[in-house]
Each structure stands twice: as structure tokens, then as C-alpha cells.
Structure 1
Amino acid sequence: MSHSEPALDLKQAALLVIDVQCGAFDGRLCPPMPDGDALLSACRSALDWARQQRVPVFWIQHSEPGGPMDGPGFDIDPRLNPAAEEPRFTKTVPNAFEETSLAHALQQAGRTQPILIGLQSDCCIEASARGAVALGLQAWLVPDAHHTWPDRGLSAEALRDQVSQALAQAGVPLIPLTQLTHLA
């Protein structure tokens, strides 16, 4: 991290787990997420760290009537073991801050540094990171704990990395999972 980038303050941090729902992995209505097990493992590591550090966890679930994120596909993947006391927000648009009370909940919790992980890099992750910045929040992105599907002639990994770099250029600091999980 360069000196010009802000420091992550654990007292201001909140972990946002975006759209890590069964519909991304079950193959019912869309191809299963490439490297889904690796993404879930990275998300579990980030969740374990957040819970150990008492960084609040906020779950965002995309609702897509008739699509992959509907019915059983709407459920958060049980391998992430969401805790009952961790708040959930339902969205119908890519930006998790639009048409939800997420910004208000972060404000009520005194949290101004959301850390984003989950799906889909080139849609909801990117839109939510940009939405957080537009609200004056210092969003952070864990570049190895978000993912997508191949698109536009790019592999899923290349597209994910492209989104990470575009967000970094837009002022969203990147914090790799190994760096994040060593913060105390």
C-alpha cells in the first residue's frame, strides 16, 4: 500500500458479502461459477477474519424473479454459514446501496469503510463499490475474494482482474486476502 492510500481502520470497517447465493453455484439456470470452490474458500477466510476482529458482516442478496437468484437460488450459500444476527439486505439492481437501507445501516453502525467480497465482479461488485464511493464511503475491495463468469472474450479471471484494476484507478484500494486476514 502506498502512502497516498488510506489505511483500513477496523473500527470503521464492515464486510459486505455480495450475492454469494446458491443460484451462482447450482447450475440450475446458469452455468456454475467458475472456480466457485475457491471463491467460497476466500469468502470463508474473510468472514472468519471479520468475525474474529468483531468487524460487522452485512449480507446482500440479489433478488431475480424467474432467474438464478430466485427460489432456492436466492439463499445464501450455506457453506458460508451466515449468522442470524448478521443483517441481510435484498436488492434488485446491481448497486447494493440503491433502493436498500444498507447505507443507513452502515451509518447507524458507525462504519464508513465497507470491504467488498462476492459476486459478480463486473456487475454488482463494481456497481456497489462505485455506489459506496459516490456516497462518500471509503470502499475497499478484496481482489481475490470476488469473481465472475467469462464474458466479452475474456476469461473469468481476466475480467475479475480488469474490474479490480478499474476500481483501484477509481480510488477503491485493493487489499489482498492474505493482507486483510493479517490485520488485527
Structure 2
Amino acid sequence: MATVRKGNIPALVVVDVQVGVMQQAWEAQRVIGNIARAVERARAQAVPVIWVQHSNEELPLGSAQWQWVPQLGPAGGETLVHKQYNSSFEQTSLDAELAALGATHIVLAGAQSNWCIRATAYGALDRGYDLTLVDDAHTTESMELGGGATIQAEAVVRELNVAMRWLQYPGVSNGTARAADVDFHRPCSSS
């Protein structure tokens, strides 16, 4: 069992809101707007914002595809974490950055819902963090399964929102909230 983190110190973690990730994402402009709203609210409440940026063969470090979308990006002094795996925790400095802040509650937004957001959410819960998924501030692309079957992006987003409301881990709280309503200082309870 993961160590349960005492207290309630929040951090907003924004994952992979990059040009190459968002260009084909479902309702990208609406989601980017909601992420921007969550970032503004976090900054206004002096909640740390941590930016996670992915690189791989499709998103080469420094390329146009790798850059943040024009509407979003770290402000001076905000933490930037680089990653190469789906989970923002794997072989990155994220856990150390959160520990330095004393963070116990992660508020999560970004892309892609079925890959990096899901892996980061489970990684946070596995490590004993309380988690709030911003349910209108994450997105993905539709997923071709082969044989003519496709999972639509909207269904992927909705499924993850449901999972984060119903999932239970011992000693931690998790749930969802809308960008306009997220309470950084109170972790969500599972429904």
C-alpha cells in the first residue's frame, strides 16, 4: 500500500498540452480554454502549477510539435517536468518536485485522456496523493481498434471521468470537478 500523505497542500499538474498532442484532439479549443481557466484560478489562489512536457519520436525535443499550444505555457518560476513515458512520474522529477512543495493533493488536467492522463492519475493514487481530475479539462483523439471498430474520443473522456469518481484507493480521496468549480484546497471524495 502507498504511503498516505497527510495534510492538504494542492498542486495543479498540466500534462502534455503541446501542439502535436492537441492538433487532432477532441474539442481541443474548449479543453484548452478550460485548462487556462484552471491555471488562472490556481495562480490566483497561489497554488503551484507544474507543467509536464512529453518528448518522443513524434514530439522531438525542441520541435514545433513539441511546443506548448500558443494559449498556454509556464509562467516565470513555475516548474517544468520533461517526460518520455505515459506516466508523468516515471523517470521524471515530478515526485521530487511535489515533495519539495509538500503537495498532497494533485489537481490534474491535460492530454491525452487514455494515455498520459490515465497513467498519471493512477501513478498519483499509487503514490498516496489525493487526486482531482478536472473533468472538462482533458481530451484525446478517437482510437482506431482495427476491424472497423473505433472508440470515439468523447467516450474515452467520459469513461475516465466515471472511473475517477468510482475508483477507490485506501486512505486517499479522488474524484472529478469542472474547471470553473475545482476546489484546490479540498480533495474530492469518490462518488
Please classify the TM superposition score into its range, dividing by the shorter chain length: 0.7 to 0.9
Between Structure 1 and Structure 2, the one with more strand by share is 2
Deviations 1:102-123 (A, max 9, x none): 1111111011101000000000
The letter of the residue matching 1:123 is W
Question: Any gaps of 5 or more consecutive residues in structure 1?
Answer: 1-8, 27-31
2:153 is the alignment partner of 1:156? yes
Percent identity of the aligned residues?
Answer: 31
Q: CA deviation at 1:76?
A: 1.4
Q: Distance in 2 between matches of 1:81 and 1:101?
A: 18
CA distance in structure 2 between the aligned counterparts of 1:137 and 1:102, rounded to whole angstroms: 12
| Partner of residue 76, structure 2 | 84
Give me the whole-angstrom Cα distance separating, in 1, the residues matched to 2:32 and 2:72. 7
Give the RMSD, CA atoms, in angstroms. Answer: 2.0
In structure 1, the partner of 2:179 is 177
Query: Residue 74 of structure 1: SS of its match in structure 2?
Result: coil
Partner of 1:146: 138
Q: Larger % of helix: which? A: 1
Query: What TM-score results when the alignment is normalised by the length of structure 1?
Result: 0.85
The amino acid that maps onto 1:118 is: G
Aligned residues: 169
| TM-aligned CA deviation for residue 176 of structure 1 | 1.7
Offset at residue 173 of structure 1 (A): 1.1
The aligned runs of 1:101-120 (5 Å cut-off) are 101-120=93-112
Question: Does residue 14 of structure 1 match 2:11?
Answer: yes
TM-score, with structure 2 as normaliser: 0.82
- 1:134-162 Cα deviation digits (max 9, x unpaired): 11111210111001111252221111010
CA offsets 1:156-176 (integer angstroms, 9 cap, x no match): 111101011122222331112
